[in-house]
Structure 1
């Protein structure tokens, strides 16, 4: 079938709207009419640093309506509302033990450019276009394996839900699935973007006593307070480690770094109390740490977390439940753009004018 897609033809190039060919769904695949898709930093990295083969149709926070299903699909039918999440094999040890975010073939399935049978579904003039995250949701339709399709309630704005498939579940899941802070504990969130603010909302849900947000933009810190932060610090104005240790009488129990900035990562370690744990979520370059003083000497833990260590088919409906209950108002992070304005959405995100852009592609 012919679809309209925002194509990335070369490294660093703007998205180009083109008519491309989408093949029919194969066995265990679902064809989805895309209603909306979030704009994530990973899409920008894929476009600008070519971490996936180009040309490609990017997009990996899609939401939409099931239009058709391939042979063997029994969990979905035409008309279902769904969110698309990351691809995973479903049969490696990590997938089978509830950790598909560290699937043995995660990188190949999400960044390799093909579906799990090593073939393409997208093409232009007979030439293949790479798939991204097993979905390529920057188009009017997308195909995904049923494993990374999540059925959602029909009484919520479907266009809003796409970011639950990656950025929002990354922040919330890091807290709820991996750190699992005790009631009354203390936590610091470094970076008040979409991932960090989602972590703040999750920390409030589980009853953290002290929730500290650190950023360099006062407007984001104000929003962090609105979403549950009990204290905020602007890292350009204060000694963050000193302030946190004074506030918490020795440091926080937990920390989440979403920035990927090496000096900030060291701050999150140094501001932990003995036996504290830090989750590193941001893509961080090579850096140096003082293993003895920053970790070992005080029994601290430093861990990496991908996609919030989530099982999307379980976790995303849970987040929607808390959203409907008024306890996870992630809609406050969002600004909607029309599909034709996708390049502006990326520019506004890069410049910090909007926290989580969502591109509306079709009406529900």
Structure 2
């Protein structure tokens, strides 16, 4: 029998062995793994390495029959990737989360794969079950990507649907699934606060997403539905964004031509850079779940922004960027980086920030600065009690 959520839900334990078998014979997947593990040898010796990697993985994942065991095995690789590409991950607020409760984590969105991965990392290391992750179908062009993500507790958000009625039906199903996951399955959910990454560093909650949570329970008051979902604001901040140059380029092209169209494979490149690129330090903050009643999605969006933007950790590069931003707000009392950070930490940051500016074409530079300066503006406006 087809379940109502079969087209979007993550794989269940019973499906794991068959999906793993399918993955380990997928040429495109093995290609990527070979390039990832042996970047220098993959070209000439790929034909030789691929079967070896497949054999090793089959051995390693033999006997994996549940999502939890799979996550335990994969965690080793995730931790290793994090150690290589960051100067450490810290998190705050995990102590608010209770074992046995399910939460709807609404987070700012900067990186396609790593945002939910870092939230998973924090939750997993706190000894709590990892959330189910919302992922847009625009990122699932290859079958193996879809398999990988759905094995790792991801569910699909159908974004590429164009018809109005179809769109409505897709959101209705998504709403029902999120409510079902939290209330019936007692499984947490991670979803971004808006569609697409905040490429200009301006993290804002889209009230349409908050409305969507209510869609499948229209007969109940909005405030009650939200209260039943344990809605939890999450802020993730990267000291450095591995995709910042690409984002600056896109913002420049958009600003000068009015549009921007992605090249084929651009999402794949963003995913790869986001995973392996240097991020400096990373911080994840979990606010306490929203308990007060909000009658209206716009007011709730403002409240989510307040929590997400004040929970965002500002690093030296953010203050350095703000100090050279042409749109800095003279009314805001923003201290200089030297007033906030010890000199050793600041010197290191100044060198890295300068390196990034130098690597960026002059005409793209204002958009690189913008990405790092905007979170400072937003946080200090909220602290001053000013509207965003």
The structure where helix makes up a greater share of residues is 2
Same fold per superposition (TM over 0.5): no
TM-score, normalising length: structure 1? 0.28
Larger radius of gyration: 2
The structure where strand makes up a greater share of residues is 1
